[in-house]
């Protein structure tokens, strides 16, 4: 599926979910329009769920790891 600019790189998943895209949109209305335009335009998507982020707890990809022995 081509990636529109609002859709960030996605994560592959297992179980009932095939992949988890991250969508950036200024409002839920814009998010809905992106979903209709992107997801409903392909025959490979039969259903989707839309969890929304209410607050960013951790920002970035850095993982704090302590090295054993100093």
In tens, the pLDDT along 29-64 reads 998 888 888 877 776 777 777 777 788 787 777 777
User: Is the pLDDT reported for residue 1 higher than 60?
Assistant: no
Using pLDDT thresholds of 50, 70 and 90, give the confidence band for residue 18. Answer: confident
Residues 11, 56, 51: CA angle, nearest 5 degrees: 55
Half-sphere exposure of 64 (CA within 13 A, CB side): 2
**DSSP three-state, residue 28:** helix
Beta partners for residue 20, in sequence order: 11
CA atoms of 70 and 67, how far apart (whole Å): 6
């Amino acid at each position: 599926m081509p990636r529109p600019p609002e859709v960030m790189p996605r994560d592959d998943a297992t179980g009932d979910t095939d992949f988890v895209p991250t969508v950036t949109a200024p409002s839920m209305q814009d998010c809905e329009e992106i979903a209709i335009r992107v997801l409903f335009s392909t025959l490979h998507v039969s259903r989707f769920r839309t969890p929304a982020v209410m607050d960013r707890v951790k920002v970035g990809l850095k993982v704090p790891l302590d090295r054993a022995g100093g």
